[in-house]
Structure formats: structure tokens, C-alpha cells
Amino acid sequence: MTDTSPADRLDTAATSRRSVLAGFAGAAAMGVPGVALAQEAKEAPALAKLVADGKLPKLADRLPAKPLVVTPIETSGTYGGQLRRGLRGSADHNGILRMVGNQGLVRWNMEFTQVLPNVVESWEVNEASTVFTFKLRAGMRWSDGHPFTADDIVFSIEDCCKNSELYRSVPSPLVIANKPGTATKIDDTTVRIAFEAPYALFLEIMATPLGQHPTLFPKHYASRFHPKYNAGVADLVKAANVADWGALFRAKLGDIEIPARWGNPEKPTLDPWVVEEPYTGGATRVLMRRNPYFWQVDPQGRQLPYIDAINFGISQDVESLMLDAISGKLDIQDRHIDTLQNKPTLSQNMAKGGYRLIELVNSGSQQCQIYFNMTHKDPKMRAMFANKEFRQALSLGIDRAEIIELVYLGQSEPYQAGPRPGHPWHHAALAKQFTDHDTAKANAMLDRIGYGKKNAQGQRLHPDGSKIFFAIDVIPTLYPDLVDTLELVKRHWAEIGIDCKVNTIERALYYTRGDNNEHDVAVWPGSGGLDPMLDPRDFFAQHPQGSRYAIPWTQWYVSNGKEGEAPPDGQKQRMKLFDEARGTADLAKRGAAMKQLFDLTAEAFETVGVCLAVNAFGIANTKLRNVPKKMPASWSWPNPGPAMPQQFFFG
Amino acid sequence: MLLFIARRLLWMIPSLAVISVLAFVLIRLPPGDFVTNYIATLAASNEVVDQNTAAELRARFGLDQPMIVQYWKWISGIVFRGDFGFSFEWQQPVGDLIWERMGLTLLLTFSTLLVTWAIALPIGVYSAVKKYSFGDYFATFFSFLGLAIPSFLLALVLMYVAAMYFGQDVGGLFSEQYLTAPWSLAKVWDLMSHIWIAVVILAVSGTASLIRIMRANMLDELGKPYVTTARAKGLSEFRLLVKYPVRLALNPFISTIAWLLPNLVSGSIIVAIVLNLPTAGPLLLQSLMSQDMYLAGAFVLLICALTLVGTLISDVLLALADPRIRLE
């Protein structure tokens, strides 16, 4: 039809009345979209048709006055297609979040180093980093066409996050120095969030998934389920047979990371795709279709997303996801298939499955961080683990080259902790101290600090004559490679007379032992490789479920000294330095504070590492364009979200 | 008979009460709770739960209360309001979640059962009657193979072969376009063209063991004097077999009905997970793994109730089929 003009067809078909009519019908059906095509369509054909039928307002009325212009990674795309991705049967809602739901006030750049405007057009921060004034996009709309204004943000923060019936404590991204921020509307497109203490990291945290609350709850829809705005909520609660309005609110509106966020097709969102078939207990797939009011465009002013729909297939079994991957049934995937053992299989079948591998830069720093419990309940063990020279000796006892060669196929380097090489804050001593393999020195150190006595088998003894023995907790289902690593470490340590056991346990037990401070030694991948400010758990006792070398100290830190155990001065200094860095907007000053902190961490040598965190990988359909060859893999940079899947397309 | 049934039904009440306590305690027994598991699952993808939220979740779900209080909350809801509670994970009523999957589960279990019996009974009788013949060895060989191959492995191999060499998708019960389509003839046909794979895989191991049981039972009966007598009286071989020894050999099959009902829910979990079937099994396993207490509890209670009912039905049927059995 595009080859011949309707006029030509009229001439050739003049003899038959039927053909003439058909010709007219053809011309009429082309209508508006046909004309739009000639001038480069600014919206997807399906939407253009709805506009032509009068079922949807014109594109100009759907977009904000200044939409966010997204520069495609390779080239501008074409509309259409359905993207296939896999989810696991249970607790995999964040797989949707990473792909679709990354629409916070601000977002990360591709390099994970800088915060860029997203929902907001621009912002201003006062000198003290306490008041943040955000300028919203005039004319921006929720996915149901209702305007998105400052009221929505104020409602989300003041009426939802700070409502003690909905959130017993305010979500921590909105809290600094134990006081939640206050959101105030200046006018329809200006909103101010003010804190009582400096909160320089606020913007960075707003760019992470946990910082999405301000854009999560559409006031016009959510207020129906909120007693402040709807006196009749009690009836709704009764009709839904739930315990209280909070439960109903959560079932309808969800929260940042619960499955219910993707369970209600009615809920308006700001995401590029909206739920058509929800993620519920019985679902076998989740289907999301383009948001006609999505507020981002490409440089030609064409509305995103390019791809019509996303189809998340739900697999009960992770192995069957692998089958889907190698038979080319997934368009972009890394979740659940990115283990080291899968890499050879996936590389082998690239041509057959029609996909390519993409590199995911590990945002962590350490592949296998070993946490000796320095606050062990048994005084004898506590004395041993808290002895810095003991930990240093054990670190020298590890043959890292062998582990890297055998377990990680040479894809890493000996490492302790701290920001990755290449990061501006990389700290040489913190990263590389005590990574040599030196059994003589290790033995000498152990002899010197009072563990010189040995039994008949050559195993070292505590000063009281009992044998040194400890268990290293590891979760085999989560990190099979760590079990292999630890088996080698155990052998290396046997050579310096230290006996231990690799304690493979189920994950809930691992957490329970940690929470109750019952573990001897635990391993976990070390964090803070690319995001040292966001996850500093290895640099001081910061995370009650992460800094496993001294859980009671973290409790002291988190509770402001009310619970747990008081840490030594070096820790207290670091806690102060971190709070200071977190309150400093000036990057150079913040870096200086963190440098001091890293110096202290290197000096204290609390954790023992093995090697630099190994990069992961994912697959992408060879036809899928605008996917970066390399991107960070992180929760704070929820890949592939910040690479903007809305600008992916099938070429 | 009616008295017997009434008495058995009455006995079920205390049994169920004890079972409900046991089920609840057992689900709570592993270390940690739903929140620990939730955090751990997210941690597996390097995802973090906001610390304030984690503490709050426990309070919201009532996990910080003593076990007896939690049990009472659960059981009183069931007894007084027929309300099985809310699933922690899905924030949906437990009843809806289970019923949603029951239809296909029933279909799958019954078709598997029919296929199993249709294959196993004739082959079992045949290999007993023609003992040590070629056909017997052939059937025996294959039934041992069927017994030896775990069905989930068979499913995995089949899926791999189908995906790698035929480019076909064997998982699930529907093609993509029918997944959410309303029921129609075309959809039923689509279901049939998918379900047979699952049925065959599930039937393989069941068939194998049933062939062995049937063969052994028949061999026990075939040597008995009444068979010889009947044969001496000139009864045709077919009528003789079907009327006497087969009927007696069937008793163990009737007893299996007792396991059949609970199997509706909990049978073939691994195969269902591997083949990605939308049946009740995977949901049960998931709920147990994540310690989603109310969902798991409802499942365990349902399975136990079905076991009790199944036992009763098989007892009654046995009495009807075999006059030698007395209910008193």
C-alpha cells in the first residue's frame, strides 16, 4: 500500500466499483498514522491508532512540556516487539523492578558515578545539604493520564511514609540523624524536602531502588485507601476481608520491594511499561505493556519506550531458565543464570540461541570476605579472633594464586577490601596488604602471639592447651564457589597448623546464627567496590546483618549506643568519619574523610579477603540493540534499569 | 455401615486438631522465619531490605508474638470464619491461591492415574500369566527401567532434547497465546497437546511399580486351587482370569486410593517444578521454603484432611469390593 498512492489505485481499478471502494477504504484506514509515518512517527503505531480513534489524547497532551530526553546508547530505534525475560516462581519481584521500576526522582548515570535528573527536571541544594528543592516537569502524567504534581510527592512522604499505621518507622532513606525529612509543596511543580541535619547523600540514595518512595504513591488513586482522605475506608477493609487499612493499602499500592507492587493492574505508575497481567501467587507469566503517558523521549522527540511489551515468564526451576536461555527464549537476562559454572554452557550455545554475552562489572570488592567473629561469646575464641596478628597470619597463610587459578579460572587478583582498582577512592594498602603467600612468616607470627604449642598432629593449641578449631559458615546454595574456595583455604591453613571446618548451612540458619552472634567465622562477598558510600559494611561495623566480624558493635552503632556492645575507639572514629562524609556534599571533602576512614580500616585489618570480586555476565538477544556492552551489576544501580531498557529496541 | 462412617468422621475431629498443632509447630521448627528467609532470598541477588522495614515486617506479620498466640490467631480464623489467612509473600488470601491451582492439579492427577492404570493393569496380568516368556522379560525390563529413572530426570532430559534438537517448548500446560485466553475448544486442545508430556512422565514410574505389584499379586493367586478348579470346570481362560484372580489382586489398588487424595496436592512436586506446571505442588514447596506460614499451614492441613478422607473411602470401597472384609 505504501508503494502505490491511493490516486494510482483509483485509476487502475476504475472498472470495478468494488475495487474502487476497497481503494478508498485502504486510504481511509491509513489515515493519520500514515501521514505521521511520513514525518517520522513520534509514537508507537498502537497508540497512534488509539489517538486516531479518539480513545487517547494527542501525544503533545500526554507528554510533559519538557520531557526527559534520553540519548540512545547506539542509535534511535524503531517501535514494536515484545521483550522476553525470566522470573523465578517466588520472591522475584525485584526482577521486575530492575527492568521496569527504576523511576525515582533522580537516576544514576551509566558509570554509576553521578546523579542525573529523572522524574524531576532539576534541583537545588542549600549550602548545609539540609534542604533539597526539586523542580518537577510541568504537564507530566501518571499512566492513567492524571497529572503528576508536587501533591503526589508530599502525599507519599507525609501521609504514607510518615504514617505510623502504615510504616511503624519511617523508611530509612528518608531519615537522617533519627529525624525524618519534611516534604512541602511550594507550587504544583516545586517541592521541597528538608532535613534537620546535613544529608549530602540524599540524592545518591534517591537514585537507588530504596529511595523510590516519593514517586511510588499516586495521590488521586491511593487516597481512596487512606483514612485521612476517605472516611469510608473501613467498609473497603471489611469487604476485602483484611486486618486493617494498612494491609489493604499495601495490597493495592504495594511497596518498593514486595510482590504486591506488581500485583494490581489498576494502580497508576510512572514506569515505561505498566502491568497488564499481574505478578500473583498463581501467575505463570507477568505481562507489561507500554505506558501511553510515559514522559521520556529520544532526541528526535519520539516517545519511549520503543518496545511494546515485556513478557516475564515465570519458571519454578532455575535450571529451566538456563534451558530457555540457550534455546534463545530470553531476550535479556542475567538473574539466576549468571553463575560461573553456567558461563561455558552459555558461551558454547551463543550462535544456536542467537544471543551475545554482556559483561556485568561487579560492584562488590571482594569475592570471598572472611569475617572472624571478634565479639565471639566464648572468651577464648574472642581473644584469638580479636588478635590482629592472628588474622594477619591467617591471611598470609592463604595461597590466593592457587584459588584464583582453580576456582575463578584466572579471572581475578589477590585482594583484601575497599573500592576497586580504577575507582578514585581506591586504597592501595587496604586492597593489597597481607595478600602474599608466606607460610614461614605466618608460622612465626602465630608462634609469637602464643599459639606456638602443637599437638601430635601438628595442630596448634590455645594457650590453655585445647585445640584451635572453628567453623566457617557458608551457604552452598547461594555461593557454591565460596565452598570450593573455603575447601582450599582450609587446606592452606592446615599447613600452618590451623584446623577448621567448612560449615555449609541453609541460608535462614546462616542469618539466625549471625543475628544471635553464634557464628565463629562467616563468609560473604565483600561490598563497596563501586559504591563505598552506599554499602560500607566491610569498612566499619555498620550493617547489623552484614558486618559479621562484630554484630554487637553494629547494633551499638545503629541504636546510637542503646543496644549491643561499645566498639573500640578505632571503630568509633570511623563511625564518626562516615557520618561526617555522609553529611558532606563536596566530593573532595567527602573523599578526604573516607580516605581517613580507609586508613583506619587498613590499620585495624578486621576482615580477611581472598580475591577481587569476579565480574558477572548476562545474555542479550543479538537483535536487541542499545544494550551497553558492559554495565555495573548492583542493587544500588539496579541493572539493567539505569541503562534505560525503555530505549532498547529490536533491530 | 452408616454407623461406621459416622464414627470415623467423628474421630477425624480430634485427629485434625492434633495435626493442626503438629503442622504449625513443624513449619515453625526450622531456624529463622519468613522475614529471615525473605531477607536471605533478596540477598541472593545482592538486594537489600531497608533495615527499618525488616524490623517492621516481623511485627506486622505477628512473628514476634509467642507461638501459642500465633497458633490461636490462625486456627480461630479457620474454625470460626473459614478464613485461612493471608499469604505473607503474596498478600493474597490463602484460599484463593490454593483454589486457583486446584482445577489443573485435579485434571493432571486423574489423567495420570487413568493412564497409569490403563497401562499397568493389562501388562501386569499379562506378565504374570505368561511368566518367564519373552513378553514378561520385556515388560519386566522396561518396568525396572521406569522404576530406576527418577521422573524429574526424565523430565529434564526430555526438555533438553526438545529444546536443543526440536526447538520446542515442553514446559507449562499452555502455549503462549492461550495462557490467559478464556476457555475455548482451541484452548482445551492446546491443553491436551501439552498435558500428555507431563502425564507420560508422571505415569512412567507409577506404571512401573504397579506392573510389579500386579504381577506379584497375580502370581500369588494363579497357583491357588480355586483357579485350577475353575479351569477344570471348563471356564474360558479370559473369563476365569478377570472374574477371580484379577479381582482379588485388585485389593492393593483400592488401598492406594487412600494415598491418591493427598497426592492431588503434594504428588509430583519435583516434576511439576521442573516442567513448570501451574499446579499446587510448586506453590506448596515455595511456601515451605519461604516459611510463608499460613499458606504452608493450609496446605499441610489440606493434605492431612485428604489423607483421612482417602483412608475412609478406601476402607469403604474395600468392604464393598471384597465381602471377606468386615468393618466392625
| Per-residue confidence (pLDDT) for residue B250, from 0 to 100 | 81
Distance in angstroms (rounded) separating the CA atoms of residues A38 and A591: 53
How many residue contacts between A and B have a Cβ separation below 8 Å? 165
Buried residues in B101-120 as b, exposed as e (16+ CB within 10 A): beebbeebbebbbebbbebb
Chain B nearest-CA distance from A74, in A, is: 29
For B45, name the nearest residue in chain A, comparing CA atoms only: A335
Pairing of strands A355-362, A521-526: unpaired
Instruction: Identify all chain A residues contacting B282, using CB atoms and an 8 Å cutoff.
Output: 89, 316
Distance in angstroms (rounded) separating the CA atoms of residues B146 and A588: 69
Q: Do A471 and A425 meet the contact criterion of CB atoms below 8 Å apart?
A: no
| Per-residue confidence (pLDDT) for residue B86, from 0 to 100 | 83
Tell me which CATH code domain A31-89+273-362+616-651 carries. 3.40.190.10
Query: What residues have CB less than 8 Å from A519, skipping those under 6 apart?
Result: A373, A471, A473, A513, A548
Q: In the structure grid, which three cell numbers stand for residue A419, read together?
A: 573500592
| Host H or E run for residue A499 | strand A499-504
For chain B, give the mean pLDDT.
Answer: 82
Instruction: Identify all chain A residues contacting B286, using CB atoms and an 8 Å cutoff.
Output: 89-90, 316
For A97, name the nearest residue in chain B, comparing CA atoms only: B47
Distance in angstroms (rounded) separating the CA atoms of residues A611 and A609: 6
Q: Is A424 helix (H, G, I), strand (E, B) or coil?
A: coil
For chain A, give the mean pLDDT.
Answer: 89
Q: Do B198 and B109 meet the contact criterion of CB atoms below 8 Å apart?
A: no
Judge whether A29 is closer than 8 Å to chain B, CB to CB: no
A182-195 tens-digit pLDDT: 999 999 999 999 99
Helix H segments across chain B? 2-28, 34-44, 51-60, 67-81, 94-129, 134-148, 151-165, 185-222, 225-232, 237-243, 245-249, 251-255, 257-266, 269-274, 280-289, 293-321
For B280, name the nearest residue in chain A, comparing CA atoms only: A282
Q: In the structure grid, which three cell numbers stand for residue A420, read together?
A: 576497586
A486-543 tens-digit pLDDT: 999 999 999 999 999 999 998 788 988 988 899 999 999 998 898 888 889 999 998 8
Q: Cell 522465619 appears where? A: B33
Please check the confidence at residue B19 and state whether its pLDDT lies above 60: yes
Contact (CB<8Å) A508/B59: no
A234-257 tens-digit pLDDT: 999 888 888 889 889 988 999 998
Our CA dihedral for B92, B97, B100, B105, rounded to 10 degrees, sits at 170
Q: Mean pLDDT, to the nearest integer, of A431-445? A: 95
Judge whether A250 is closer than 8 Å to chain B, CB to CB: yes
Please check the confidence at residue A5 and state whether its pLDDT lies above 50: no
Say which CATH superfamily domain A104-268 falls into: Dipeptide-binding Protein; Domain 1 (3.90.76.10)
Judge whether B76 is closer than 8 Å to chain A, CB to CB: no
Please check the confidence at residue B167 and state whether its pLDDT lies above 90: no
Pairing of strands A521-526, A469-474: parallel
| Per-residue confidence (pLDDT) for residue B26, from 0 to 100 | 84
Of the listed ranges A3-12, A358-367, A566-575, B113-122, the one predicted with least confidence: A3-12
B328 — pLDDT class (breaks 50, 70, 90) = low
A542-575 tens-digit pLDDT: 888 889 999 999 989 888 888 889 999 999 999 9
B250-306 tens-digit pLDDT: 877 777 777 777 776 766 788 888 888 888 888 888 888 888 888 888 888 888 888
Please tell me what DSSP assigns to residue A33: H
- Phi first, then psi, for residue A56 (nearest 5°) are -145, 140
| One-letter amino acid for residue B184 of the chain | S
Distance in angstroms (rounded) separating the CA atoms of residues A358 and A522: 31
| Per-residue confidence (pLDDT) for residue B176, from 0 to 100 | 72
Q: Which of B46, B156, B273 sits opposite A634 (nearest CB)?
A: B46
**Is the torsion defined by CA of A643, A644, A645, A649 positive or negative?**
negative
A8-57 tens-digit pLDDT: 333 333 333 333 333 333 333 333 343 444 346 899 999 999 999 999 99
| Host H or E run for residue A96 | helix A93-99
Q: Of A535, A474, A480, which Cα lies nearest the Cα of A338?
A: A480
| Host H or E run for residue A573 | helix A569-582
A3 — pLDDT class (breaks 50, 70, 90) = very low
| One-letter amino acid for residue B85 of the chain | G
Distances (CA, A) of B101 to A621, B201, B284: 33, 20, 11
Instruction: Provide the angle, in degrees to the nearest 10, between the axes of the packed helices A379-386 and A388-396.
Output: 60
| Per-residue confidence (pLDDT) for residue B116, from 0 to 100 | 85
Q: Which of the two residues, A394 and B20, has the higher pLDDT score?
A: A394
Query: Cis peptide before A480, with omega less than 30 degrees from 0?
Result: no
Q: Any idea where the domains of chain A sit in the sequence?
A: 31-89+273-362+616-651, 104-268, 366-609
| Per-residue confidence (pLDDT) for residue A14, from 0 to 100 | 37
Of the listed ranges A2-16, A272-286, A491-505, A593-607, the one predicted with least confidence: A2-16
Distance in angstroms (rounded) separating the CA atoms of residues B147 and B322: 30
A107-125 tens-digit pLDDT: 999 888 889 999 999 999 9
A449 — pLDDT class (breaks 50, 70, 90) = very high
Contact (CB<8Å) B89/A634: no
Q: What percentage of residues in chain A have a pLDDT greater than 70?
A: 94
**CATH architecture classification, A366-609:** Roll (3.10)
Our CA dihedral for A534, A536, A541, A547, rounded to 10 degrees, sits at 100
Window A:210-239, CB contacts with B under 8 Å: 210
Helix H segments across A521-568? 551-558
Separation of CA A309 from chain center: 22
Instruction: Identify all chain B residues contacting A287, using CB atoms and an 8 Å cutoff.
Output: 180
Q: Is A629 helix (H, G, I), strand (E, B) or coil?
A: coil
For B152, name the nearest residue in chain A, comparing CA atoms only: A317
Q: Of A89, A463, A574, which Cα lies nearest the Cα of B101?
A: A89
For A527, name the nearest residue in chain B, comparing CA atoms only: B46
Window B:113-132, CB contacts with A under 8 Å: none
Q: Mean pLDDT, to the nearest integer, of A196-204? A: 90
A96, A267, A280, A317: best to mutate for the B interface, most B CBs within 10 A: A317
Instruction: Provide the angle, in degrees to the nearest 10, between the axes of the packed helices B94-129 and B134-148.
Output: 150
Distances (CA, A) of A135 to A66, A128, A181, A455, A550: 12, 19, 18, 71, 43
A58-86 tens-digit pLDDT: 999 999 999 999 999 999 999 999 999 99
Exposed / middle / buried, residue B316 (Cβ in 10 Å: 0-12, 13-18, 19+): middle
